[in-house]
Amino acid sequence: MKFEYTNHAEAKILERRLKKKLVEDIIIKPDRILPSVSNRKIAQRSVNGRLLRVIYEETGEVYIIITAYYADIERYG
């Protein structure tokens, strides 16, 4: 299993002070996976009372991370 990050994902993860290990763990062990547009998926997990969502594409053994962000649990939980 390999993880690749788009330039957008790299910038947003840095800006939002997220750890790549946590982002990757959420893809591996999410609370929930939802379908998204353009064959993308949304992995989400509750982290310290907040909902962290990771948008990614799966291509064989490679996960391409598009972005990651904290969201409102009431809206997406």
Distance CA 70, CA 77 (A): 11
Q: Over the stretch 65-77, which tens digit does the pLDDT of each residue have?
A: 999 999 987 777 6
Q: How many angstroms separate the Cα of 22 from the Cα of each of 11, 34, 46, 64?
A: 16, 18, 11, 15
Q: What is the dihedral of CA 5, 21, 25, 69, to 10 degrees?
A: -60
Q: Over the stretch 2-18, which tens digit does the pLDDT of each residue have?
A: 999 999 999 999 999 99
Please give the model's pTM, rounded to 2 decimal places: 0.92
Segments forming the whole domain that contains residue 67: 2-76
The CATH number assigned to the domain holding 26 equals: 3.30.2310.20
Domain count for the chain, please give it.
1
pLDDT of the residue at 65 = 98
**For a pLDDT cut of 70, what percent of the chain falls above it?**
99
pLDDT of the residue at 77 = 63
